[in-house]
Structure 1
């Protein structure tokens, strides 16, 4: 037997009625002072009691007979089975697992702190009971291994040029990373009969020793990107202004005055502080 087997067992209420008959027999033996009848009733009642067990909702019982797998009872209720069966309970409820924060290196070699949150449940009771030593501990260990592998496959963030902006990163591509983590974890836990319902990164940050340096790098990248947009917009506005002046014949400017105008407009548009203009009330030459 190498796979789960769902079995049906006797109704517990029917055997409870049989147990009551044995107890009645014991009472009759006491009244009649029949030692043999009393002993027989006590032995049968004791054997019968050992066969009762409960299966609560979203739980199961794995039945063993002298080390041999008999089957699994998943339907909830009150049952009776062979008193010699060893009955091992396994929960079928969904469980949350929040791993500890571990320090690993991302794809670029930067040390980061990362943890994972997984939602899982037992799908195959035979694998969970017999293919691994402790399936709950197996989930913890494999989750840690999966998140370490995942972190090594992707960079924490993308500091490259815009041409590589679509690269998957741990910080920006949460959906893609979560899908990759769920797939990796599912493959690792398949041998334990565990179904992964959801897996995602619970915590993500640079390690303390490089956190300040990386924060400055992010700020510098953001400033450069913002300046790039400002310059692009300013050049467009200057070009539009020159075209409108030329189109409407408002004023004719030679190359020297165009250069001066462009310089002044660029200073006004690109400056990060308010500009105080100097009004010329004379001629263009003064």
Structure 2
């Protein structure tokens, strides 16, 4: 037997009713002084009592007879089976697993802290019970291994100064990384009969020893990008101003005055502080 076998044993309510009748009969026999007749009933009651099995909704019981797999009960209710069966309880409910924060290296070798949130459930009780040892611990170990592998496949972020131009990064590509993580974890847990319902990154940050340096690096990258946009806008505005002055013949500027005007406008438009104007009350030459 290498596959799960679903079985539905006899109803436990019928056996429970018979046991109640035997208990009442044993009591009557004892009261009437016929203890020797009540003793066999007591033995029968004790022998049949371990055969009761209670299965809750989204629960299961794996039955074994002296090491031989008999089957799995997935139907909820009260049942009665062979009293010599051993019964292993396996939950079929969805479970959450929040892994510890692991310190790993990303694709560029930067140390990062990462954790994952996993939602899983057992779909094959035979594999969960017999293919692996302690399937809950198996989920923890394999999830950590999958997270370590995933972190080494992608960079934390894109940095132009290192020539990194990845389409998928751990920080920005949340959906793509989650899909890759879910696929990786599912491949590892399939041998245990476990289905992965959801897998996503729960925590992601640079390791403490490089966190401050990387924060400054990100800030510098953002400042450079912002300045680049400001300069592009300022050049367009200066070009537009000179074109309008030239078309409307408001003022005739030679090359020297044009250069001075461009310089002043660029200072005004690109400065990160308010500019104090200076009023010239003289002529254009003074």
Of 234-243 and 13-22, the range deviating more from structure 2: 13-22
Q: 1:109 corresponds to which residue?
A: 109
Counterparts of 2:65 and 2:54, CA distance in 1? 18
Q: Which runs of 5+ in 1 are unaligned?
A: none
Distance in 2 (CA, whole Å) between partners of 1:145 and 1:271 is 51
Note the alpha carbon deviations across 1:110-138, whole angstroms, 9 max, x for none. Answer: 01111111111111111111110000100
CA distance in 2 between partners of 1:167 and 1:234 (Å): 31
Number of residue equivalences: 285
Contact kept, 8 Å, 1:98 with 1:118, in 2: the verdict is: yes
Q: C-alpha distance in 2, partners of 1:19/1:111?
A: 65
Aligned equivalents of 1:57, 1:18: Cα separation in 2: 26
Q: Is the deviation greater in 249-258 or in 270-279?
A: 249-258
1:51 lines up with 2:66 in the alignment: no
How far off its partner does 1:32 sit? Answer: 5.4
Question: What displacement does 1:281 show?
Answer: 2.1
Match of 1:64 in 2: 64
The question of whether the paired residues in 2 share the 8 Å contact of 1:111 and 1:207 is answered with: yes
Q: Which residue of 2 aligns with 1:157?
A: 157
Separation in structure 2 between the aligned mates of residue 16 and residue 244 of structure 1, nearest angstrom: 100
Corresponding residue for residue 285 of structure 2: 285
Whether the aligned pair in 2 keeps the contact of 1:25 and 1:37 (CA below 8 Å) is: no
Q: Which residue of 2 aligns with 1:143?
A: 143
Structure 2: distance between partners of 1:36 and 1:227: 101
Distance 1:114 1:170 in 2: 10
- Cα deviation for residue 43 of structure 1 reads 1.9
> How many Å separate the matches in 2 of 1:269 and 1:142?
56
1:50-199 matched pairs, under 5 angstroms: 50-160=50-160, 167-199=167-199
Unaligned runs of 5+ in 2: none
CA contact under 8 A between 1:156 and 1:170: conserved in structure 2? yes
CA distance in 1, matches of 2:111, 2:166: 22
What's 1:210 paired with? 210
Counterpart of 1:43 in 2: which secondary structure? helix
Mapping of residues 205-284 of structure 1, within 5 Å: 205-284=205-284
TM-score normalised by length of structure 1 = 0.95
SS at match of 1:50: helix
Give TM-score, length-normalised by structure 2: 0.95
The answer as to whether partners of 1:59 and 1:89 remain within 8 angstroms in 2 is yes
Q: Judge which range, 246-255 or 24-33, deviates more.
A: 24-33
| Alpha-carbon separation, structure 2, partners of 1:16 and 1:248 | 105
CA distance in 1, matches of 2:249, 2:57: 86
